């Protein structure tokens, strides 16, 4: 059994592999987005993904990968869910990519590192902000470096409530699918910032019993619900061959790489049953800074259109 522990959150700064600057990145990114939508036949410009995987059974190892910039109030709920409901039949590595400039997140990780949780190992990755701002850079680094049987690319607003990760381990026994995803998730309503923000100082919060959730079906391996076989991850990385998705950014970039990842693997993923998976839907997008006001207005409008009542 892996026992909880971590390096100092202020570990030496990692410099991840990134694409050299090019004015063609914007064009490539646009072309990939059109190809993913099926409007341009460009798949042949990238090598076919290697999907060979060895089935694994028994006590599985699972790596969870989150990025955090301005979302420490959500990350403390995610980490709190692991502390409150540690897995019993799988070994978990919780990897968080962050930057030293986000002081509240650093303080939260320092607090979490003090927690010894059976079956959980903390793994903090301190990277420059401009590399954190393109999420696929960190995901690619994690994919290539993982030693786990399966790697789950997720977000800070996902909660692993009691039985979730053990149920995932049961569902993954002997599977060789390159990409799987939970067939359903428990969602909150679209919550304002004050409903999910904790105190001024970070803390580990278990909010699973404090919030109201509704179960909804999931139809594809979307951004925070992409669970990849470790062999496939180590071989292919995460959008490694698309330079536009491996370049540093000046601010947090919209995550178009999520759909490109599925496109490169040639599958929307295979649904599996993962009990107790919950996600906090939040109005405020802290990672976008001042630009978040417009995004919040758009999200309010989208919510009213989807749920007029």
Domain edges within the chain:
25-306
CATH class, domain 25-306, is: alpha beta
- Average confidence score pLDDT of the chain: 89
CA atoms of 16 and 247, how far apart (whole Å) = 10
Mean per-residue pLDDT, 49-74: 96
Least confidently predicted of 51-55, 59-63, 198-202, 234-238: 198-202
CA atoms of 179 and 258, how far apart (whole Å) = 12
Predicted pLDDT at 284: 64
Of the pLDDT bands very low, low, confident and very high (cuts 50, 70, 90), residue 198 is: confident
Predicted pLDDT at 297: 47
Predicted pLDDT at 285: 58
Q: Which residues contact 252 (CB under 8 A, 6 or more apart)?
A: 69, 132, 133, 287, 288
Least confidently predicted of 47-56, 150-159, 166-175, 196-205: 196-205
Q: CA angle 259-265-266, nearest 5°? A: 85
CA atoms of 122 and 114, how far apart (whole Å) = 10
Q: What's the pLDDT tens digit per position in 14-46?
A: 989 899 889 899 999 999 999 999 998 999 898
Predicted pLDDT at 301: 47
CA atoms of 268 and 116, how far apart (whole Å) = 36
pLDDT above 90 coverage of the chain, percent: 74
What own/partner pairs with CB < 8 Å and gap ≥ 24 does 30-34 have?
A: 32/242, 32/244, 32/245, 32/256, 32/260, 32/263, 33/256, 33/259, 33/260
Q: H-helix or E-strand containing 80?
A: helix 72-84
Predicted pLDDT at 238: 98
For the chain, give me the number of helices (H) and strands (E)? 10, 11
Mean per-residue pLDDT, 119-138: 96
Q: What's the pLDDT tens digit per position in 211-241?
A: 999 999 999 999 999 999 999 999 999 999 9
Predicted pLDDT at 294: 47
Mean per-residue pLDDT, 41-66: 95
Of the pLDDT bands very low, low, confident and very high (cuts 50, 70, 90), residue 298 is: very low
Predicted pLDDT at 283: 80
The alpha-carbon radius of gyration of the chain (Å, integer) is 19
Predicted pLDDT at 302: 45
Q: Are strands 226-229 and 179-182 parallel, antiparallel or unpaired?
A: antiparallel
CA atoms of 12 and 8, how far apart (whole Å) = 9
pLDDT at position 1 over 50:
no
* Bridge partners for 121 per DSSP: 93
pTM recorded for the entire structure: 0.90
Q: Exposed, middle or buried, 220 (CB in 10 Å: 0-12/13-18/19+)?
A: middle
User: Measuring CA to CA, which residue among 12, 302, 30, 278 is closest to residue 164?
Assistant: 278
58-72, 202-216, 291-305: which is most confident: 58-72
Predicted pLDDT at 28: 95
CA atoms of 147 and 253, how far apart (whole Å) = 28
Provide the CB-side half-sphere exposure for 53 (13 A, CA). Answer: 24
Q: Which residues contact 168 (CB under 8 A, 6 or more apart)?
A: 62, 90, 152, 227, 272, 274
CA atoms of 35 and 42, how far apart (whole Å) = 6
CA atoms of 39 and 33, how far apart (whole Å) = 9
Of the pLDDT bands very low, low, confident and very high (cuts 50, 70, 90), residue 7 is: very low
pLDDT above 70 coverage of the chain, percent: 88
Q: What's the pLDDT tens digit per position in 169-187?
A: 999 999 999 999 999 999 9
Q: What's the pLDDT tens digit per position in 246-297?
A: 999 999 989 899 999 999 999 999 999 999 999 999 786 544 444 445 444 4
* Bridge partners for 65 per DSSP: 95, 153
User: Measuring CA to CA, which residue among 127, 177, 148, 153 is closest to residue 15?
Assistant: 127
Of the pLDDT bands very low, low, confident and very high (cuts 50, 70, 90), residue 197 is: confident
């Amino acid at each position: 059994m892996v026992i909880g522990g971590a390096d100092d959150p202020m570990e030496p700064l990692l410099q991840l592999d990134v694409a050299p600057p090019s004015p063609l990145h914007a064009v490539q990114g646009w072309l990939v987005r059109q190809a993913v939508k099926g409007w341009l036949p460009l798949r042949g410009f990238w090598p076919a993904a290697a999907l060979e995987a060895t089935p694994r059974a028994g006590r599985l190892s699972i790596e969870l990968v989150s990025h955090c910039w301005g979302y420490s109030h959500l990350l403390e709920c995610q980490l709190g869910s692991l502390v409150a409901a540690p897995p019993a039949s799988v070994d978990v590595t919780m990897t968080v990519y962050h930057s030293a400039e986000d002081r509240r997140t650093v303080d939260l990780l320092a607090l979490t590192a003090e927690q010894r949780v059976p079956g959980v190992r903390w793994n903090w990755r301190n990277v420059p902000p401009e590399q954190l701002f393109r999420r696929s850079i960190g995901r690619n680094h994690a994919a290539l470096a993982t030693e786990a049987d399966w790697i789950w690319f997720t977000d800070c607003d996902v909660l692993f409530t009691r039985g979730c990760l053990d149920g995932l381990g049961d569902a993954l026994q002997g599977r060789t699918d390159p990409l799987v995803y939970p067939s359903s998730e428990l969602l909150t309503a679209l919550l304002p910032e004050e409903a999910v923000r904790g105190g001024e100082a970070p803390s580990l919060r278990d909010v699973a019993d404090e919030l109201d959730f509704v179960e909804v079906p999931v139809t594809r391996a979307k951004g925070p619900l992409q669970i990849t076989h470790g062999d496939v991850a180590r071989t292919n990385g995460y959008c490694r061959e698309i330079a536009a998705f491996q370049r540093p950014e000046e601010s947090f970039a919209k995550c178009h790489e999520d759909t490109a990842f599925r496109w490169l693997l040639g599958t929307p993923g295979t649904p599996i049953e993962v009990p107790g998976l919950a996600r906090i839907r939040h109005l405020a997008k802290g990672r976008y800074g001042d630009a978040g006001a417009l995004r919040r207005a758009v999200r309010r409008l989208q919510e009213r259109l989807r749920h007029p009542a």
